[in-house]
């Protein structure tokens, strides 16, 4: 299909369904993913996720996380650091081991069971962040904890994937494969928050002194894409670099309302939609998959594992069961990274077509249920609070 026609079709269907979902009271993101399922191979088979749409989707998740970083209060995010680390770790460990266990019980071979555990341990940063933005809860302690834990989660997920591929390749060099991504991630974070922050702020401030009127806008986009590319190059998800770039430039960008609004429109008015539609396009729903005996147990483990991990990891810090529960809910969404890992594992012969299809449906189920659970949690929390004396968060 002509790419211009694909762009029109995606924007019309996704924004239309998003609007309907929003009127019903749920995050519009759900409508955008449904648009992808509708236009993609599962139903109408009109739009294929070709390299051009993949580039638009990548730009979308970069724009989404950059804006999230820029909207986030860096102090609140820093305050949530310790709770994020423990929550991220518990949010990976519980689903990992329960996935391996369930896989074993259901009769999968060891490699498939480990794969299942890893897939279950990767939260979708994009879905988690968009849910919080749609519900206007990004800058709460719960919101910061979810985002921070999702970042930690991604780093641990990459380490696990390195481990899985060394097992699959039968390599003895497993420890080396583990050490490299950890070292690179640590170096990147250290660099980013020291030299990187100064460099980026300097470059951005310089762009304001240029003759070219739109230079600060372009500079912000360049910085977001470059940081995203840097994290992608060291094996992390695009989204992490873009988020860190947003955190760094947030103060500068929020000072200029016109610039900030322009970048928000660039993200939410255009590119972000392609990211959520691409999740729907990656999915292939078939009747026999829906009837698979694996499906219901898998969805149950996916929801229970992350909720338990997030709850247990954050409760010691948050000291509030409802808040800790919402953190758990916020981490339940799996997204494009889980789908891409499933696809490459299918291509590498690690998993069967049957397991791949069930995983696909599990991802979609979590993507729909996570925002609903988070929304329910926040409204329960606020209902309870209005009965008790006011408290600061």
Interaction site with a second copy (CB under 8 A): 2-5, 7-8, 11-12, 15, 18-19, 22-23, 28, 50-52, 54-55, 58-59, 62, 210-215, 217-218, 221-222, 225-226, 228-229, 232, 238, 258, 261-262, 264-266, 268-270, 273
Helices (H), 108-237: 110-121, 125-134, 141-168, 174-191, 197-207, 215-233
Closer to a second copy by Cβ: residue 232 or 286 = 232
Element (H, E) at 340: helix 336-347
Of the chain, the end-to-end C-alpha distance in Å amounts to: 50
Q: Which is nearer to a second copy, 268 or 311 (CB)?
A: 268
CB of 245 to a second copy, least distance (A): 12
Nearer to a second copy, 213 or 319 (CB): 213
The distance of closest approach from Cβ of residue 71 to a second copy in the complex, given in angstroms and rounded to an integer, is: 14
Q: Which is nearer to a second copy, 193 or 270 (CB)?
A: 270
Task: Report helix, strand or coil for 264.
Answer: helix
d(CA 241, CA 226): 8
Please identify, using beta-carbon distances, which residue of 38 and 259 lies nearer to a second copy.
Answer: 259
Q: Directed axis angle between helix 353-385 and helix 110-121, to 10°?
A: 30
Longest Cα pair distance anywhere in the chain, in angstroms? 66
Give the dihedral of Cα atoms 255, 128, 288, 111; nearest 10 deg.
Answer: 120
Closest approach of a second copy to the CB of residue 83, in Å? 31
CA proximity to 88, closest of 344, 295, 377, 313: 313
The minimum distance between CB 55 and a second copy, in angstroms, equals 4
- Nearest distance from residue 257's CB to a second copy, in Å? 9
The residue with tokens 């691409």 is: 278
268 versus 276: smaller Cβ distance to a second copy: 268
Which distant-in-sequence residues (6+ apart) come within 8 Å of 362 by Cβ?
295, 298, 299, 302, 334
Residue with smaller CB distance to a second copy, 209 or 319 = 209
Q: Choose between 5 and 110: whose C-beta lies nearer to a second copy.
A: 5
The DSSP symbol for 48 reads -
Q: Cα(14)–Cα(34) distance, rounded to whole angstroms?
A: 8
Answer whether 331's CB lies under 8 Å from 92's CB: no
Minimum Å gap between C-beta 4 and a second copy is: 5
The pair phi, psi for residue 227, each rounded to 5°, is -65, -40
**Region of residue 33 (phi > 0: left; psi between -120 and 50: alpha; otherwise: beta):** alpha
- How far apart are CB 52 and a second copy at their closest, in Å? 4
The CB-of-35 to a second copy minimum distance in angstroms stands at: 13
> What is the spatial distance between Cα 147 and Cα 33, in angstroms, rounded to a whole number?
21
Q: Nearest approach, Cβ of 56 to a second copy (angstroms)?
A: 8
Nearer to a second copy, 231 or 333 (CB): 231
State the angle between helix axes of 272-282 and 336-347 in degrees (0 to 180), rounded to the nearest 10: 40
Q: Which residue has the tokens 């519009």?
A: 28
Cβ at position 264, least distance to a second copy in Å: 7
264: Cβ–Cβ under 8 A, 6 or more apart, which residues?
67
By beta-carbon proximity to a second copy, the closer residue of 269 and 316 is 269
């Amino acid at each position: 299909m002509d790419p211009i026609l694909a762009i029109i079709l995606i924007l019309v269907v996704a924004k239309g369904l998003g609007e309907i979902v929003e009127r019903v009271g749920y995050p519009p993101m759900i409508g955008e993913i449904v648009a992808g399922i509708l236009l993609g191979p599962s139903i109408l088979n009109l739009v294929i996720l070709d390299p051009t749409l993949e580039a638009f989707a990548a730009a979308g998740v970069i724009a989404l996380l950059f804006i999230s970083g820029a909207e986030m209060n860096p102090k609140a995010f820093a305050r949530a650091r310790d709770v994020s680390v423990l929550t991220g770790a518990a949010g990976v460990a519980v689903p990992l081991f329960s996935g391996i266990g369930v896989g074993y019980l259901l009769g999968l071979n060891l490699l498939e069971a480990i794969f299942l555990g890893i897939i279950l341990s990767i939260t979708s940063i994009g879905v988690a962040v968009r849910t919080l933005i749609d519900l206007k809860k990004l800058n709460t302690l719960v919101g910061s904890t979810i985002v921070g834990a999702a970042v930690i989660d991604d780093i641990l997920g990459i380490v696990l994937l390195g481990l899985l591929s060394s097992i699959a390749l039968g390599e003895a060099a497993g420890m080396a494969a583990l050490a490299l991504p950890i070292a690179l991630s640590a170096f990147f974070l250290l660099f980013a928050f020291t030299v990187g922050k100064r460099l980026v702020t300097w470059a951005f401030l310089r762009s304001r002194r240029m003759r070219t009127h739109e230079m600060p806008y372009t500079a912000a986009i360049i910085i977001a894409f470059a940081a995203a590319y840097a994290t992608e190059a060291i094996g992390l998800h695009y989204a992490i670099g873009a988020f860190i770039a947003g955190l760094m430039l947030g103060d500068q960008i929020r000072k200029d309302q016109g610039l900030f609004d322009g970048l928000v429109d660039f993200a939410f008015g255009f590119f972000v939609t392609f990211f959520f539609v691409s999740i729907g396009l990656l999915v292939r729903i078939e009747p026999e998959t829906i009837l698979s005996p694996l499906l219901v147990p898998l969805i149950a483990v996916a929801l229970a594992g992350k909720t338990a991990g997030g709850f247990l990891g954050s409760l010691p810090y948050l000291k509030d069961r409802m808040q800790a529960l919402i953190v758990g809910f916020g981490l339940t969404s799996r997204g494009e990274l889980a789908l891409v890992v499933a696809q490459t594992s299918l291509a590498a012969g690690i998993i069967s077509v049957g397991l791949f299809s069930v995983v696909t449906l599990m991802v979609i189920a979590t993507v729909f249920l996570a925002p609903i659970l988070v929304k329910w949690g926040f409204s329960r929390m606020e209902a309870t609070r209005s009965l008790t004396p006011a408290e600061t968060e």
